[in-house]
Structure 1
Amino acid sequence: MATMTTRHFMYTAGALLVGLTLAACGKQEPAASGASAPSAATPPAKVYVVGTDAAYAPFESQNEKGELVGFDIDVVKAVAKKAGFEVKFINTPWEGIFNSVAQGDRDLLVSSITITPERQQTMDFSAPYFDAQQLIAVKKDSSISKFTDLKALKVGVQNGTTGDEVITKLQGKDSANVKRYESTPLALKELEGGGVDAVVADNGVVINYVNNNPDAKFKTVSDTSFAPEHYGIVVKKGNTALLEKINTGLAGIKADGSYEQIYAKYFGTVPKAAAGAASAPAPAASN
């Protein structure tokens, strides 16, 4: 009887030991599975804050929902997707837009910004993505036919833009006839009301306004003295890592046809072969 009890005890102890071993093994599986999960996770894409002055249709403006839309917005979205990063757009007044990137409040800027030697001293530009030129807007009955006709007239411009620069050079820095406004549409509204005799601004913006405001009865005047300009995407001086990402994405959307599709959406035509292809800006300076 004692022998049977011992056997029973040994059998029971052995079964218990096996059960505990299996239970211990069972508890290790979730830990092993959980340990490997972080290494398989994909890190979130970097989000860059983009500053833009949304008062420059068709390049950047706000729709009825308050969303930022336009050619520049679509280009940067496409560039970001191609280069593997994300963007968040913030409407930023033109007067402080360059300081916002210099101080680190914005990572990059896209706002119809002309590449100029002066600006290149304090900020870095991407490869050009749009070719522009200054254009004169006047009323249909105006006798103005060339840029020099504006010498003694009241001319509206957006403050701090290339239009401001060229008119200031023509009339002199102390001229009271240079009327500066916060946006080009405001300057054009002043022309409509008779407050100025002409407005000088980027061709894309002027043409868009004239086409969409037929009741204003404007016409445009071009002049061969206006030098070609190139828009670029701005980053803080020395931010070569971000600049490389932007240029990679920009080259990518030009190669796969995305850029042409965006251009045609806003301007109805395919860009000329030279559009955005220049590696260096013209000496003259837009927005």
Structure 2
Amino acid sequence: MRQTPLVLTALTVCFLSAGVGTAHADALDDVTKSKTLRIATDLAIPPSGMMDASMKPVGSDVETAQLLAKDWGMKLDFVQTTGATRIPNLQTGKADVAISTLSVTPERAQVIDFSRPYAVLESVIAGRKDVAVKSIDELKGHTVCVTRGTTQDLELTKMSRDKGFQIARYDDDATDVTAAVSGQCELIATSLTLVNQVTLKAPDHPFEKKVTLHVFDLAIGVKKGESRLLAKLNEWIDTNIKNGKLNAIYKKYHHSELPPQMR
């Protein structure tokens, strides 16, 4: 009986020690302490992210990231990324958030968390006017160029065998666009915004929308389980949707407004 208090004391110490061991600072604590926000953004996907003549980042995602850092009173640290590395950068802690034309899909939602939408993206298959394709079924025998790891890559990979078409993959959007401009690709699956970039660079061989795949919500990505950071991001998005700042950024670069239901 004399050992009971000692046993209870020992158990209590172990319990408290376990509690201390599991306590940890979350992502919001980390960025607040460092006063630096590391944002993964693809700077090779105009007009969302690109470098200007002075080699400074510009674009709709760039300005969105800059507005976020400014509103939070933090230094902005761009983590350059590609379509394939956006999610790994979050999972490995290289970036705190991703603002990089990251469309919301069920598959991605299993591995990262998404904020509320801040913009939209129309995903299409486009091609030269002389390419007679008006539906997925008419892709048979053709090759479609995609950027590796994008929603277009994932979606078309699932249906390519049954529909009888091939896929050519490129590591980033800039290379994908260059392939289309140079004539290596007769069809490209990407955002409508990038299709317009192809036409601007090759006006003699313009690309046009053939098939609309989806209209995706674009959201800010965060590592799974960072609920406090996610809540603060959602609050910020709500504020800047209501005051029109996010719509103004989108309109400046994409030449159209956000959907009425968002505004």
TM bucket by the smaller chain?
A: 0.7 to 0.9
Structure 1 residue aligned with 2:8: none
Query: What are the Cα deviations for residues 143-202 of structure 1, in whole angstroms up to 9, with x where unaligned?
Result: 2222322132111000011111222122129x7821000123322332333333300111
The 5 A counterparts of 1:1-287 are 46-172=35-161, 177-210=166-199, 212-223=200-211, 226-275=213-262
Which structure shows the higher strand fraction? 2
Q: Which runs of 5+ in 1 are unaligned?
A: 1-42, 278-287
> Could you tell me the TM-score, scaled by structure 1's length?
0.73
CA contact (8 A) 1:152 1:171 kept: no
CA contact (8 A) 2:196 2:207 kept: no
Range with bigger deviation, 247-256 or 72-81: 72-81
In the aligned structure 2, how far is the partner of 1:107 from the partner of 1:251? 20
CA contact (8 A) 1:51 1:108 kept: yes
CA contact (8 A) 2:141 2:165 kept: no
SS of alignment partner, residue 203 of structure 2: helix
CA contact (8 A) 2:38 2:95 kept: yes
Moved over 6 A (4+): none
CA separation of 1:96 and 1:260: change in aligned 2, threshold 3 A? closer
Query: What are the Cα deviations for residues 39-65 of structure 1, in whole angstroms up to 9, with x where unaligned?
Result: xxxx98821111112111111112233
Is the radius of gyration larger for structure 1 or structure 2?
1
SS of alignment partner, residue 116 of structure 2: coil
> Could you tell me the TM-score, scaled by structure 2's length?
0.79
CA contact (8 A) 2:83 2:150 kept: no
Q: Which runs of 5+ in 2 are unaligned?
A: 1-31
Give the letter for the 1:254 counterpart.
I
Give the letter for the 1:162 counterpart.
T
Cα drift, residue 84 of structure 1: 4.2
CA contact (8 A) 1:148 1:170 kept: no
Cα drift, residue 87 of structure 1: 2.3
In the aligned structure 1, how far is the partner of 2:186 from the partner of 2:38? 39
User: How many aligned residue pairs are there?
Assistant: 232
RMSD of the alignment, in Å?
2.5
Query: What are the Cα deviations for residues 215-268 of structure 1, in whole angstroms up to 9, with x where unaligned?
Result: 3512212435x2321111111111122212211211111111211221221122
Q: Give the share of equivalent positions with the same residue, in percent.
A: 26
Structure 1 residue aligned with 2:11: none
SS of alignment partner, residue 57 of structure 1: coil
Range with bigger deviation, 103-112 or 162-171: 162-171
